[in-house]
Structure formats: C-alpha cells, structure tokens
A and B are shown apart, each in its own frame.
Chain A
Amino acid sequence: MAGYIGNLALFFSLIFNGFLIFLLITRIRNNNFKNLKTINFFNNSIFFLLLISFLTLIYCFIVSDFSNVAVYQNSHTTKPLIYKISGAWGNHEGSMVLFILILSLFSFVFVRTKVSEKLKFYTVFFQAILILIFLIFLILTSNPFDRMDPKPLQGLGLNPILQDPLLAIHPPFLYFGYVGFSLVFSFALAGLVTNNFDKSWSKIANFWIILPWSLLTIGIGLGSFWAYYELGWGGYWFWDPVENASLMPWLAATALIHSNIVTLKKDKLHSWTALLSIFTFIMSLLGTFLVRSGVLNSVHAFANDPYRGVYILSTILFITFFSLAIFIIKSPKKSLYGKYYFFQRDNFILINNCFLIFFLSVVLVGTVYPIILDAISGKSISVGPIYYHTILAPFLFVFLFFMSHGPLLSWNKEDKFLQIKNFKIFFPISIVISSVIIFLFFDYKDIILILGLLFSVYLIVSVIFDWVSQKKLSLNFGRLVSHFGFGTLIFAIFINAYLSKEINAAMKVGDEIKIQEFTIKFKSINRIKKENYEEVFGNFLVANKDKKVELTPSIRKYDQPVQFTSETSIKTNFIVDYYFAINLSEFEKDKIMVRFYYKPLMFWIWLSILLIAFGGIYQTFRLRNEK
C-alpha cells in the first residue's frame, strides 16, 4: 500500500516539475520576473512530494514489504532496524531518490534566500531541468517502487560489509556534497545567461560552494574511516576508482572556493570561476556515473544494467555540452589587464588553482584511462598507488609552499620583502622541527619523507604565525582552521606511510610469535550468536618494549546472505593505532590467519579531516550571519 503512495508521489513530482519548467519558460519569454507565488508553490510541492516518496520507501524497508523489489533485494526481516532504514539508500534505486530529493531540497532552500528575482528564476529553472533529467532516469530505469507478484516471504539481505553504522551516514553526507554542487552549477548558468556574473554573484555563491564542500569533506572522511576499520587491510586510501570519484569533485570545488574569493575581492577571474562552477558539478556527475554504472568493480557498483550506464553517460554529455555552450556564448568579458604583481595574494591563489587542476587531471586520467582503454582495445589494466604517489608528491611540496605564503600576502600591493622576511622565520623553524622528528623516529632517510615533513611543518608554522598576527580572528578563522588541518593531514599521512608496520602469520590458540619488536600471543577463542550472524572472537596480546595491548578481532558469519566478514580490533592512544584482523582459511582449518598493523598518527588523519571540514562549516555560518 505504502509503495503505491510513494510511486504516486514520484509521478506527481514529475508532472509538477513539467508544469514548473513550462511556467518558467513562459515567464522568461514574457520577461515577467515578478510574483514568485506560483513558482514557489510548484517548487515546494515537488520537494514535499519527493520527501513523501523517500519516506514511504524508508517505511517499506522498516516494515519489510517484500512485494517491493528494492526491499526484497536489499533487506531481510532479521536485520537490525538501523540497517533496515539505511538499506533504503544503500541500494541503487533508493540512493537515486535521495539524489533527486537533495537536488530539490537545495532549490527549496535557495528560493528562500535573498537573491534578485531574475537570478532566482533562472537558477530554479536550471535546477528543475536537472530534476527532470534524473526523475525520468529514475522512473524509466530504476523505479524504487517496482513490485513483484507473488510477494516473496523473505528478502535477500544487505551485503554484510555494508551493515555498519558509519555506512548509514556516509552516503547522505557524500550526496549532500556531490549533489549540493548542483546549485552553484545552476546559479552559475543563471549568472551567465542574465549577464550577472560579478562580485554580488560571488558573494551569494560563496555559501553554496563552501557548504557542500564541507559536507563532501566529511563524507570522504567517513568513507575512508570505514575502509580503514572494516576492510581489514590497515589502509585508509587505496586510490580505488570509487574513492577517486569522490576526490575529483572535492579538488575542483577546492579550486572553486579559492577562485571565487578572488572574484569576490578583486572582481577578477570571472570566467575561471564560472568554468569551475560548471566543472565541479560535472565531476560530481562523472563520479555518479563511475560508481553507479557498473563499469567499476566495487561494493558501490549496485547497478549492473548497462542501460543505466548509457543513460547517465549521455546525460553527462548532454549537460556538459549545453553548460559549456552557455559558458562560451555568454562568458563574462571583463578585462584581465591591470597591474600584475607576482607577490600578490590573487596571483598565489591562481598558482595554487593550477596545481589543484593538475592534481585533478592526474586523478582523472588514472581513473578514466583504464575504462577507456578497456572500451577501445578490450585490454584490462589497473593503475596502482605508485602512479599517484610518484606524480603527486613532488608537486604537493611546491603546492604547500605557495599555500603557506598565499594567505600572508596582500590583495592589492606587492610585498616581496615581507615574504622574504617571513621565509627567514618559517624556514629555520621547520628545518629544526622536521630534522628533530627525522632523527628521533627514523633510522633511514628518504628525500620524499624529508620534503614531506619539511613542507607540511612549514605550512603549519606559517598558519600559526598568521593566526597569532590576526587583528580580528573571526574574519579568517575558518580559513586558518582548514589550512591548519590540511597541514596536519599531510604531516600525519607522511609519518603514517613511513612508520607503519605489518605482521602476517598463521596461528593456533596458545601460540606465541616474535616478529620485529612485537610479541604476539594468541590467548583464547570464543563464540557469540547474534540476531543475524555468528561471531568468533580471538583474544590476542600484543607487546613491544613499552606497551602491552589486548586485542579481540573477530570473524562474523552472516546468515542472509551467507558470508564471512572480518571485524578488526583497533586500540589507539591517539598517537599510535594497534590494529588487528583475523581471517579463516579454507585450506588450514586448524589455524587462523592473523594480521597485525602498527599505524601511527591515524587519529590525527581523522582529526585533520574534521578540522578541514569544520573550517568550511564555520565559514558558511559566518557568511549566513553576515547577511
């Protein structure tokens, strides 16, 4: 029953959306931008209809209505309630409803802000077109309310590795980020079409760029955290195409945040900001395509229907083509010529924008090239982490250097000597700090490690210097926190990469092994039966010269579908993580395979990501209060 209501709501939202577009076109033709009442009515209705549709879908999952295909394929009566709910967006169909709901939510909130009516009209128009495209896609190829008759008695269950509290919140965050960029995309097109792409555009856009960017940052962090503790390989970033898919819009948006500031402060770089606004959302769409079309093999590839892939791909091409056409025809023509100084803040931002675009191209090529090669020549290849590390690392150092000095420069005049003075302060301090760290903790020296530590410390020092010399802290607080977080992130990543240790062994209960400086003792084993799985715990004692840690990793055997997963056991003292995972082997039934990882500064990686996101969120709230 509920399914019918949801389906009906979905169809009505499509019809209302058709009306809205029709209404907007006639109004735009008549140049009538007054009276938003009817527009608002339709816009609100679409949002509430989609909300009803999404809530009914959640309801179907809660009551396990297996006559609904999506519920049947992804749920089971014995699943805990939270995973029944998160199952609603843990599959292709449900996640597309969430996608469209967020598109509509942003439009819903946007019309309530202070923007000139003409801009509002066009923005809602472009947003409505996006909603239309994806609603048609949803209803034609992946309707979440498809029914089956007769109604099955039991569902197939959700993939056990997706049954995790973090995965209940990771997709919504990621989607708010991804889809959130749609609004600045529509707003940019609106600005271009109405020739309103200027400082005041930037001022409004700032909020709509930084908000989704912050949420995307959290979403990426959550996904990475999940991969760290759930997959059991001790890593947090694998350069998997699915991870890259979320990193690409993040890089583009980071560039956009900065170029938009230049547009706001100096009335420059209009075309570049407009282009980045378009590009960021296209990267989001590309991410959606990669993840959803089944061209990649990963946990995220729910859809293996090639028709869906073709539809999303042609949608991307369509949107790219038309938005770029609008950009080319209407690109803001403002003179770029003015006094040009190298040591000026906007120039440093521009330089770092180039770096970000370079990073983006590297990730883009590494992600897309294997897919294109496979499509053309049928050869399958994979691009490993070494590709990314060797290309990105050297440029990252220069990037960090410019990032350290950029915020200290003036917007309007050249102050080369001040920067040389700053350099003379920062450089010795960072040399001393990083050499102390290297001599204390590392018995071998690697040039990449040294440079990585040096420049991340350099950035941290410069941010602290900047922080202390602020006259009015609240003005730049968001930027300072985010930049500080980025510095600690890179620092933690380098320390972690070079100081991590890994031990692999096969053990029986009672065994004790000594490898490197660690002694691992397998003390006992015990079993627990839970609602939808059976769990076997191993008790291990890990000791090195100054610490003893007890760890209890486990293996779960899920009933529906039958599958084994390894649950890791991690103990942290905020400096070092002791990480343990076990798994069974079909071959040696009397032994258990154990993996122990020693992972320094993991906590700092998560903390840094939170700091980066927090800086953004602080900034959006400050922008809100300013109005």
Chain B
Amino acid sequence: MVFSKSTKNRLKIFSLVTIATSLIFFFIYNNLQKNVVYFYAPQDIKNLTDTPSNKIRLGGLVKEGSLKKNNNIYFFIITDLKNEIFVEYNGLLPNLFIEGKSAVIEGVLKDKKYFIASTILAKHDENYMPPEVANSLKKNKLNK
C-alpha cells in the first residue's frame, strides 16, 4: 500500500507515541509490582502454600491478654477469631494500640505462625476498624 507523505508522518508519530507510552506504563507497572505491600488476614496466611519472603501487612484483632514485653521487644497475638499468629515487634506501641481492638502491622513472615513486625500502622480514631480487618472478621463470624 502506498501512503501519502502526511499519512506516513502521522503513522510515524502515532507509532512512536504508542511505543513510548507502553514503555512508560511497562516501567511504572514493573516498579509497582516490586514495591506493593499485600494485605493478609490470619486466614489468608493459613491458606498460603508457601511463605512470602517480602514485606506484607497483617491485620486483625490484638488478642486480649496476649501482649507481653521482654528486653524491649513486644510479643502479642493477632487473631481473626479463628486463626492466630504470633507477632514479635521491636519498637514503640502507638496510642491506639489496645488489646481487643484492631491493628494493622507491617513486616515479614518467619513462618506461617510467626510474624516479625517492623511497623505498627497508626490509626486516627479508636473505634475505627480497617475495612480489610472488618471483612475478615465478618467472614469468620458467619462461618462459626
């Protein structure tokens, strides 16, 4: 097929723009994949086939009476009323970290029952419950 000169020009510009845009989005997407943090409820972790090695977030209720301290390291249990995960945390507990209330924690899994936390995410409001946690609790209440 024969194109006129201006059509050829336009095709050239169009294909260049398309290539550039897709390269940019590929680049952005790639970077995104490397840097996202997935959220898991204790139930999700139980269902995993292998333990993820990168950073994840874990959310649930802080089990009543489980918070202990030893050599500046805190230990507590995060539960979704069905499954429990033991957490170790070296740092400061925020204002609204209270036993029996919800919490979201960032860190890595050592194995499927043991989580090493690096950050406890702050909340703005005592009664606020992250939607992810609320969902996982709802599911388990229904299944009981």
Which residues of B are found within 8 Å of A369, using beta-carbon distances? 32
Complex CA gap A381/B74 in Å reads 26
* B93 and A382 contact, CB distance less than 8 A: no
Q: How far is the CB of A358 from chain B (nearest CB, A)?
A: 6
- Which residues from A are CB-within-8-Å of B27? 391
Cα distance A315–B97 in the bound complex, in angstroms: 39
Whether A411 is near chain B, meaning CB under 8 Å from some CB there, is no
Set A370, A383, A564, A593: member contacting B93, Cβ < 8 A? A593
Q: Is the CB of A586 within 8 A of B99?
A: yes
Q: Does B126 contact A (CB under 8 A)?
A: yes
Q: What distance in Å separates the Cβ of B94 from its nearest Cβ neighbour in chain A?
A: 6
Tell me which of B31, B35, B122 has the highest count of chain A C-beta atoms within 10 A of its own C-beta: B35
Instruction: Determine if A381 and B124 form an interchain contact, defined as CB atoms under 8 angstroms apart.
Output: no
A564→B38 contact, CB < 8 A:
no
Q: Does B25 contact A (CB under 8 A)?
A: yes
In angstroms, how far is the closest chain B Cβ from the Cβ of A436?
33
A-B contact count (CB 8 A): 88
- Known contacts A564-B95, A588-B69; decide if A361 and B25 are in contact (CB<8 Å): yes
Q: Which of A55-79 contact B (CB under 8 A)?
A: none
Q: Are A584 and B95 in contact (CB under 8 A)?
A: yes
**Chain B residues within 8 Å of A361, by CB:** 24-25, 28
Contacts of B2 in A (CB 8 A): none
The answer to whether B48 has its CB under 8 Å from any CB of chain A is: no
A224 to chain B minimum Cβ distance, whole angstroms, is 17
Chain A residues bordering chain B, tally (CB within 8 A): 40
Bound-state Cα–Cα, A300 to B62, Å? 26
Contact B35 A387 (CB under 8 A): yes
Q: B32 contacts A379, CB within 8 Å?
A: no
Contact A583 B95 (CB under 8 A): yes
Distance to closest chain A CB from B89 (angstroms):
11
- Inter-chain contacts of A26 with B (CB < 8 A): none
Chain A residues with CB under 8 Å of B57's CB are 380, 382
Decide: B122 and A380 in contact? CB cutoff 8 A: no
Known contacts A506-B92, A593-B93, A595-B92; A159 and B124 CB within 8 A of each other: yes
Closest residue of chain A to B96, judged by CB?
A564
Interface string of A376-407 (1 = CB under 8 A from B): 00011111101100110000000000000000
Chain B residue with Cβ nearest A566: B95
Q: Does B50 contact A (CB under 8 A)?
A: no
Q: Is A133's CB within 8 Å of the partner chain B?
A: no
Instruction: Tell whether A365 pairs with B122 under 8 Å between CB atoms, given A382-B57, A384-B35, A504-B91.
Output: no
Q: Determine how close the nearest CB of chain A comes to the CB of B41; give it in whole angstroms.
A: 9
Also in contact, A382 and B39, with CB within 8 A (given A159-B125, A361-B25, A563-B126): yes
Q: Indicate which residue in A233, A365, A506, A562 contacts B28 across the interface (CB closer than 8 Å).
A: A365
Distance between B45 CB and nearest chain A CB, rounded to angstroms: 14
Nearest-Cβ distance from residue B92 to partner chain A, whole angstroms = 5
Kindly list chain B residues whose C-beta atoms are within 8 Å of the C-beta of A588.
Answer: 69
Query: Once the chains bind, are B69 and A365 in contact (CB under 8 Å)?
Result: no
Q: Which residues of A contact B39 (CB under 8 A)?
A: 379-382
Q: Which chain A residues border B28 with CB–CB below 8 Å?
A: 361-362, 365, 391
Q: Please state if A504 and B35 are interface contacts (CB–CB under 8 Å).
A: no
Residues of A within 8 Å of B67, CB to CB, are 586-587
Q: Cβ of A5 < 8 Å from any Cβ of B?
A: no
Select the residue from B57, B74, B96, B124 with max chain A CB neighbours within 10 A: B124
- B32, B38, B95, B126: the one contacting A387 at CB < 8 Å is B32
A240 to B130, CA, bound (A): 15
Chain A, Cβ-Cβ closest to B91: A504
Q: A365-B28, A390-B31 are in contact. Are A380 and B132 (CB under 8 A)?
A: yes
**Cα–Cα, bound, A555→B36 (Å):** 34
B114 interface residue (CB < 8 Å to A)? no
Q: Tell me, in angstroms, the Cα distance from A159 to B96 when the chains sit together.
A: 14
Given contacts A361-B25, A565-B95, 14 further A-B contacts (CB under 8 A): A297-B128, A365-B28, A381-B36, A381-B39, A383-B35, A383-B36, A384-B37, A387-B32, A391-B28, A504-B91, A555-B95, A583-B95, A585-B97, A587-B93
- Listed A/B pairs (15) with beta-carbon separation below 8 Å: A365-B25, A365-B32, A380-B39, A381-B37, A381-B38, A382-B36, A383-B35, A384-B36, A562-B126, A566-B95, A583-B94, A586-B93, A586-B97, A587-B93, A588-B69
